[in-house]
Amino acid sequence: MSMFSGLIRVMERAARKAGGRLRRDFGEVEHLQVSRKGPADFVSKADMRAERAIYDELLHARPDWGFVMEEAGTIEGAPDKPRWIVDPLDGTSNFLHGIPHFAISIAVQEPRLDGRGWGEVTAGVVYNPSSDQTYWAEKTRGAWLQDARLRVSARRHLSDALVATGIPFQGHGDFAEWSRIFGAIGPEVAGIRRFGAASLDLAYVAQGRFDGFWESGLNDWDTAAGCLLVREAGGFVSDYRGRTEPIHSKQIIAANDALHSKLHKILAGSLR
């Protein structure tokens, strides 16, 4: 059994505090009339309330750390201190439509030693308010669901693999690019799923539920914690060119080492 570090406890406490509010708001949004104005405005307020709850909790615990947040943007902290990367509601469309599949994502990113920008992610939490489950990881300590160690899938063949993705939608993403990738990967795998919350998709890769994941056009707050989860669970994460960075958002492929190599080869070939 693994014990939460003090840092993970701070992150989980903030996620659970915001998650309780999201659960209450989720109960309300299910009863709203489905229209452009009402539910969307309500969900936006729910998102901001959750972000504020996380911000207040984390600021109290680490007053000199900075923030990168979906709603409030970047808030600078002490230059030699880490920063929080926060998504208070990943899966907004699911939330809006009463689908109980959404998450809170919080990550810690360290400043580079040379003082030029930001480096590795050393801690991450993905909290699912609907199931009350906490996925967490710390550098060198592994990836966990509560107190159960996570490992990526051991499958080696694409024909056995269940792969997740995100699909472009109105005003977001490159339909032509996604279609080429889907057309190349689809015939090679056992199935493709689109659940609508990238942080949970990556947590499921770390857990071995999904064998792989690809998507483009995300943001750092969508993937920062999830990238660490996959890596600490023994997986591999890169962009479409195979390059590895602390956070992948604009382009991301995640899987175990064998399937990552195969997915990358097919995906890169489809874009030539």
CA dist 227 and 203 (Å) reads 9
CA dist 142 and 153 (Å) reads 15
- Does position 183 have pLDDT exceeding 90, yes or no? yes
- Residue 12's contacts (CB-CB under 8 Å, 6 or more residues apart) are 4, 125, 127, 134, 136
- Check residue 29 and give its pLDDT: 75
CATH number of 6-149: 3.30.540.10
- Check residue 2 and give its pLDDT: 54
CA dist 230 and 151 (Å) reads 8
Mean pLDDT of 137-144: 97
Mean pLDDT of 145-170: 95
More confident residue, 40 or 120: 120
Sorted by where each begins, the domain ranges of the chain are: 6-149, 158-270
pLDDT band for position 55 (cuts 50, 70, 90):
very high
CATH number of 158-270: 3.40.190.80
More confident residue, 95 or 235: 235
CA dist 261 and 210 (Å) reads 16
- Does position 38 have pLDDT exceeding 80, yes or no? no
**Is there a shared CATH topology between the 6-149 domain and the 158-270 domain?**
no
Using an 8 Å Cβ cutoff, are 169 and 209 in contact? no
- Check residue 35 and give its pLDDT: 44
Mean pLDDT of all residues belonging to the chain:
92
Query: Percentage of residues in the chain with pLDDT exceeding 70?
Result: 94
Q: How far is CA 102 from CA 89, 129, 185, in A?
A: 7, 7, 26
- Say which residue the tokens 């997740």 belong to: 164
- Does position 259 have pLDDT exceeding 80, yes or no? yes
- Check residue 256 and give its pLDDT: 97
Q: What is the DSSP string of the chain?
A: -PPPPHHHHHHHHHHHHHHHHHHHHHHHHTTS--STTHHHHHHHHHHHHHHHHHHHHHHHH-TT-EEEETTTEEE---TTS-EEEEEEEE-HHHHHTT-S--EEEEEEEEEPTTSSSEEEEEEEEEEETTTTEEEEEETTTEEEETTEE--------GGG-EEEE---BTTBS-HHHHHHHHHHHGGGSSEEE--S-HHHHHHHHHHTSSSEEEEES--HHHHHHHHHHHHHTT-EEE-TTS---S---SEEEEE-HHHHHHHHHHHHHHT-
pLDDT band for position 70 (cuts 50, 70, 90):
confident
More confident residue, 213 or 31: 213
**pLDDT tens-digit map of 216-225:** 999 999 999 9
pLDDT band for position 34 (cuts 50, 70, 90):
very low
pLDDT band for position 169 (cuts 50, 70, 90):
confident
pLDDT band for position 43 (cuts 50, 70, 90):
confident
- Check residue 30 and give its pLDDT: 64
pTM over 0.85: yes
More confident residue, 34 or 73: 73
pLDDT band for position 172 (cuts 50, 70, 90):
confident
- Check residue 1 and give its pLDDT: 40
- Does position 144 have pLDDT exceeding 60, yes or no? yes
